[in-house]
Every structure is written in C-alpha cells, then in structure tokens.
Chain A
Amino acid sequence: MDKLSATSWQIPAVGPMRVPAVVYGSESLIRGMDEKVAEQLRNVASLPGIVRAAYAMPDAHWGYGFPVGGVAAFDADEGGVISAGGVGFDVSCGVRTHLTGLTRNQIVSVQSQLADALFREIPAGLGSHSAIALDEAEMTAMLLGGARWAIGRGHGQAEDLERIEEHGCMPGADPAEVSEQARKRQRREMGTLGSGNHYLEVQEVAEIFDNAAAAAFGLKKGECVVSIHCGSRGLGHQIGTEFMREMAIAAEASGWPLPDRELAYAPIKSDLGQRYLGAMRCAINCALANREIIGHLTRGVFSQFFSHAELPLFFDVSHNTCKVEPHHDGRSIRQLYVHRKGATRAFGPNHRSLPDELMPFGQPVLIGGSMGTASYVLAGASSGEALSFSSACHGAGRQMSRHQALKNWSGRQIVDELRGRGIIVKSPSQRGVAEEAPGAYKDVGEVVDATEAAGLAKKVAKLAPVVCIKG
C-alpha cells in the first residue's frame, strides 16, 4: 500500500481493479488489519461500474465478499452492480440513542431494578419472542412503512421520525420480493433485540469534545442516554441468505468474473438487481420498525421508575445498507448506489436530510464500543464527502475470535469484573458474555480517533456503559 497521508493508504489500481482501494486508519490500526481486508478491497475495486475507489474504514476487517467497514459506490448507468454481500446478513443493522435527561446518580439509585426490568421487558436472545405477532397484511404494511408503521400502531412517537435516517421509512420497498420464508422467520420477532454483538445499553455521557455540537445534540456530561444496537432480525437474515445464493448462482451461470464467490453481484439494471433492491429496502424498513418498537418498550420501562422521563429519540443510524444518493464527482451530480457494509453514513453540516437543529453540526454518527468499554457520538464532516462518500466507521470490530475469547474468559468473570466497575450486565448466556468480552474487541477509542484524524467525522462525546442488556 502507498501512504497518502498519516491516516490514509492506497492500493493502486492494477490488474482487474477498475479503481484504487483506499484504507483509512492510523498506522497501527492498518498494520493490525487482517490481510483479507486488502484482498477483499481489491476484489470490490474490480466490480463493474464502481466509482472513484473502494474504501475501508478504520475498523475494517474480513467480511463476506466485502470487508466489514467497506464502502463502495456504483453508477447504474455505467453497468454498476449491487452485491448482497456488500450489505450483509443483518440488513440495516444500526444504532439508535435516546436521551433521558436523567443523571448517572438517578440511574444508579435504581440501577439493579432498572437492569432487571429492561432484561425482563425487552425480548433478547435465542428463544425470546415478541408480544407482537404480524399477520400477512400487517407484515406487508410494516415492510412498506418501517418506523412510520410502528408509530401508527402505537409503538413509537411521531416526533421520532425526523431523527431516523430516511425519516423512518425507506422508499422503494417491494414486499412482493420478500419470500414467504423471510416473512415466516419474522412473524414473532418484531421488537426483539437478537444476540451476539447486539445490545441495549444505558450509558453516561462521560466526556464532551465539541461543546456546541453536544449542546445541539442534547448531550450533557453526567446525564444518561440509552443506546440500542440491532437490525432487521430474521427477515433481514433470510433475505441476505436467499439473495447471496441467487446472486452467486446467477453470476456463475452468466459467466461474470467472480474473484470470490461471496462477492456475488447483479447489475443494478437487471431483474435480479431490482428484486434485491426491493427486498433489501423492505429489510431496512423492518430494522427501522424493530428499533422503534424497542425504543418504545424502553420508554415504558423507564416510566416505571421515572414518570417524567420521556426519552426523546436523539438519532437512529444504520450501517449495513445500499442506498441511492446524489454525490458530486467534480463535474456533475450523479445518483450512486452506495454500499456501506459495517460503515455508517456521515453527512456533513447543512445536508438537506438533517433536521434544522442538527444542520449546522452534521449528521450524528453513533459508534458502539464493546460491552464494558466506551461508545462514541460523532458528527459527519464535510470533508467526508470527497474522502468516502460521507461514510465513517461503525464500531470497534473484533480483535479476537469467539473461539479464543471463550478460552480466555468466563462469562461469570466478565460480569463480576464489570460489576466491580459499576456496570451491570444482564444476559441469558454466560458463554455469550464471554464471547463478547471487552478484551475481544479492538480499542474503539483508537478507531474513533483515526476516523476524526482522517476527516471522516468529528468526535462530539464519549459514552460510558452503566447497564448492558445482551441477548
């Protein structure tokens, strides 16, 4: 790789690569990246219709065809493609954060009971079920309406919509492209957290880096927020499974060069490409509805302890999507299909998608750390547009396999250690906790510092965990 700056490296376009690959990060983060990241980026850079470069964020690691932390934009008019691997199995997995207006002391005064209530009321983990069961008509309405549907059914508040990407409803969703299996898999999963690296966390605003932005965002040092990390649940997973398979078979049948079977794709202007778009947008709506429902359940739990806490939604971001966005290429504005796989959209100040009060500061970017370490709130930077189509990192990324984490730690040990630091962790599985041990993750602070240094987004606040609910 050629060094472009202290925080960016480039793999020049050689061989089948149509554009260069650019990796953002500190030197130590990049040296620590697995070698698959470069290989996968080279493959992505070879795809038809790719524009400018294939990008990797500072938290990039080995993914499915696309590296996790990968960003790539395609022009449909130039034979551009869409890849289900470039979106992933958890379509529109993302993070939302609610403000509480409560201090850490207020939370700590009921910490144990609040943790128990959240664990009881928010369905999480394998074997949990939602109280909401969708029939066929409601499923279709949800796939079309997203968070807007959830609010209409009493599972949210109308004011939330302007704080969710796409105002809570992804246009272009086509429920006819969602299979019966995907619908079946989702029927009892609306408003469930999932498992693995998903969580619901009560966090203290521990440090402010940008006073003006923090004030506009409603973040006050010593006050608490609630963050929820999850995605499109079984429906999204099934859509990912089905279309990755279909794209792999179709690409091979059509004789399209596939450097990696998992980087299967379809031309955007093809029947398969359009069908995937229609289904993927449904999955985005499913994720938006899911987080809206969980947010509302959380409000209900908090109201049991703090009758005046309204928990307004600060913001909701997604980090596994492909969205059509206008981007300037130096000469004109082009509509590009931007894949962000484990990467967050980070529009800069004055972007027209932002609500008025956030416009001067840029889009909030919510970065989850691991359980027990910090999370961060960033704001999109104008410089990000030219650097990465306004994209930033999404989280710490793992530095150790689950296998190794189980060898290093027990769940009991982790829970006790965190309890000693004032953090309550609730999970149905001790093994799950061990696999999610803080030590298994990279240093999110280093990732966020590199993201800022690279000009992708700016640090606004650091959040410290107080209660963590895992599935």
Chain B
Amino acid sequence: MVRQTGKKAAELKATHFPHDADIGICGIGPTLEDAFEQAALAMTEVITDPGKIELKEAVQIECDAPDAELLLVDWLNAIIFEMATRGMLFGGFKVSIEGNRLRGIATGEAISVERHSPAVEIKGATLTELAVVEDRPREWRAQCVVDV
C-alpha cells in the first residue's frame, strides 16, 4: 500500500510486519519526515483502508522527545489520542521535524462504522521493534509495534 505525495511511488512505503499478539507498522521514505508520514499511514491501515477516509478536517500535532525513536512513538501516540478523543480517523499526514521536535498535521474525518468498518482500536505505540534509521542514503525507515 503506497501513498503518493509528489514523490516517486516506489520511494514511499507503508507496510506491516508480523508480531504475535499485535501488529508491526513500518514507514519508508527518502526523508525522515516521509518515513514518519508513511508510518502513520501504516498505522491507519491497521484500522481501515486509508483510501476510504475523506480528508475533511485537519488536526495539528506537536511533539518533543529526547531522540528520534521516542519522537516516532510520541507522534503515533498523539495520533492515537486524537483518534480516540475526537472520534476521527486520519488518512493524510504531513510532518516537519527539526532536531527532535515534530510539527505535524493529521487530516481525516469522523469515524463512520458503516463506511470504515474499523477492524480494531489501537491502544498505543510501543517501544518494541522500535527503529528510526537511514538504511541507505535517502531511504529512511520508521517502525514499531502497536498494541491492539
């Protein structure tokens, strides 16, 4: 499953990896921000097809963390919090990162059980299999396991 954001489709990936009880999510992209955006899409994909979510309302998210890995966890947990408290699902993400400070926008709409058929609720992003690395030049990977 790939989302195009003006970059070559092959450069951006949002995937899942197996974990016993829960689910691993992984975002890959040419920049750190791309990887964070793709990871968020991968997390949405745990719940529903992001393509089913209309991008009607934008929510601002800000995080600070001691390092890039905790910043990823904070970003994902902030999205989880907004989903839970606003009753929304998000299908579009835009992130800018300076040092260990993130400013992001999550765009989506109110949950519709009929249209979105949410598969499961995500409890939190964990530190398991947590990685934020530049595997090769212009190939960043941001991943962790989310608890369902």
- Enumerate chain A interface residues (CB-CB to B < 8 A): 34, 61-65, 68, 88-90, 125-129, 181, 184-185, 187, 194-197, 234, 237-238, 240-241, 244-245, 248-249, 252, 261-262, 397-398, 401-404, 428-432, 435, 471
Shortest beta-carbon distance from A439 to chain B in Å: 15
Q: Is the CB of A238 within 8 A of B120?
A: no
Query: Could you list some 26 contacts between A and B, CB below 8 A?
Result: A34-B20, A61-B21, A68-B21, A88-B147, A89-B124, A126-B47, A126-B118, A195-B121, A195-B148, A237-B124, A238-B81, A241-B124, A241-B125, A244-B127, A245-B73, A249-B70, A262-B127, A398-B20, A398-B21, A401-B20, A402-B18, A402-B23, A403-B17, A431-B117, A431-B119, A432-B120
> Roughly how many angstroms separate A404 CA and B117 CA in the complex, as a whole number?
20
Closest-by-CB residue of A relative to B23 is A402
Residues of chain A with a CB closer than 8 A to B85's CB:
184-185, 187
Q: Is the CB of A262 within 8 A of B47?
A: no
B110-129 vs A, Cβ < 8 Å mask (1 yes, 0 no): 01110011111101111110
Q: Is the CB of A428 within 8 A of B70?
A: no
Residues of chain A with a CB closer than 8 A to B123's CB:
89-90, 237, 240
Q: Is the CB of A429 within 8 A of B77?
A: no
Residues of chain A with a CB closer than 8 A to B124's CB:
89, 237-238, 240-241
Q: Is the CB of B112 within 8 A of A127?
A: yes
Residues of chain A with a CB closer than 8 A to B111's CB:
126-127
A125 partner, pick from B66, B87, B113, beta carbons under 8 A: B113
Shortest beta-carbon distance from B20 to chain A in Å: 5
Knowing that A401-B23, A430-B117 touch, tell me 17 more A-B residue pairs with CB under 8 angstroms: A62-B19, A63-B21, A64-B147, A65-B127, A89-B123, A90-B123, A125-B118, A127-B111, A184-B85, A195-B119, A196-B121, A197-B21, A237-B123, A238-B81, A249-B70, A261-B127, A401-B19
Residues of chain A with a CB closer than 8 A to B81's CB:
181, 185, 238
Q: Is the CB of A245 within 8 A of B70?
A: yes
B27-40 vs A, Cβ < 8 Å mask (1 yes, 0 no): 00000000000000
B130 within 8 A of A: yes
Q: Is the CB of A249 within 8 A of B118?
A: no
Pick the 9 closest A-B CB pairs, nearest first. A401-B18, A126-B118, A127-B111, A431-B119, A237-B123, A262-B127, A241-B124, A126-B121, A89-B123
Contacting A at CB under 8 A, from B1-45, are 16-23
> Roughly how many angstroms separate A3 CA and B147 CA in the complex, as a whole number?
33
Q: Is the CB of B120 within 8 A of A435?
A: yes
Q: Is the CB of B66 within 8 A of A249?
A: yes
Closest-by-CB residue of B relative to A234 is B84
> Roughly how many angstroms separate A196 CA and B108 CA in the complex, as a whole number?
23
Q: Is the CB of A61 within 8 A of B20?
A: yes
Residues of chain A with a CB closer than 8 A to B20's CB:
34, 61-62, 397-398, 401
- Enumerate chain B interface residues (CB-CB to A < 8 A): 16-23, 47, 66, 70, 73-74, 77, 80-81, 84-85, 87, 111-113, 116-121, 123-128, 130, 147-148
A248 partner, pick from B18, B22, B70, B147, beta carbons under 8 A: B70
Q: Is the CB of B84 within 8 A of A397?
A: no
> Roughly how many angstroms separate A61 CA and B16 CA in the complex, as a whole number?
20
Q: Is the CB of A471 within 8 A of B70?
A: no
Closest-by-CB residue of B relative to A260 is B127
Shortest beta-carbon distance from B95 to chain A in Å: 19
> Roughly how many angstroms separate A62 CA and B74 CA in the complex, as a whole number?
23
Closest-by-CB residue of B relative to A125 is B118
Residues of chain B with a CB closer than 8 A to A125's CB:
113, 118, 121
Shortest beta-carbon distance from B145 to chain A in Å: 8
Residues of chain A with a CB closer than 8 A to B16's CB:
403
Closest-by-CB residue of A relative to B22 is A402
> Roughly how many angstroms separate A249 CA and B120 CA in the complex, as a whole number?
29
On whether A435 and B18 interact (CB within 8 A), knowing A89-B147, A125-B113, A127-B113, the answer reads: no
Q: Is the CB of A196 within 8 A of B120?
A: yes
> Roughly how many angstroms separate A405 CA and B59 CA in the complex, as a whole number?
33
Closest-by-CB residue of A relative to B85 is A184
> Roughly how many angstroms separate A115 CA and B103 CA in the complex, as a whole number?
46
Shortest beta-carbon distance from B82 to chain A in Å: 10
Residues of chain A with a CB closer than 8 A to B117's CB:
428-431
> Roughly how many angstroms separate A129 CA and B17 CA in the complex, as a whole number?
31
Residues of chain B with a CB closer than 8 A to A428's CB:
113, 117-118
Q: Which of A90, A126, A240, A261 gathers the greatest number of chain B CB atoms within 10 Å?
A: A126
> Roughly how many angstroms separate A53 CA and B142 CA in the complex, as a whole number?
36
B87 partner, pick from A129, A238, A248, beta carbons under 8 A: A129
Closest-by-CB residue of A relative to B125 is A241
Closest-by-CB residue of A relative to B16 is A403
Q: Is the CB of A64 within 8 A of B70?
A: no
Q: Is the CB of A429 within 8 A of B118?
A: yes
> Roughly how many angstroms separate A128 CA and B114 CA in the complex, as a whole number?
12
Q: Is the CB of B148 within 8 A of A196?
A: yes
Q: Is the CB of A262 within 8 A of B23?
A: no
Residues of chain A with a CB closer than 8 A to B19's CB:
62, 401
On whether A432 and B119 interact (CB within 8 A), knowing A127-B87, A402-B148, A404-B18, the answer reads: yes
> Roughly how many angstroms separate A280 CA and B48 CA in the complex, as a whole number?
31
Residues of chain B with a CB closer than 8 A to A197's CB:
21
Q: Is the CB of B127 within 8 A of A435?
A: no
Closest-by-CB residue of A relative to B78 is A181
Shortest beta-carbon distance from A292 to chain B in Å: 21
> Roughly how many angstroms separate A127 CA and B114 CA in the complex, as a whole number?
10
Q: Is the CB of B18 within 8 A of A127?
A: no
Residues of chain B with a CB closer than 8 A to A185's CB:
81, 84-85
Q: Which of B74, B80, B81 gathers the greatest number of chain A CB atoms within 10 Å?
A: B81
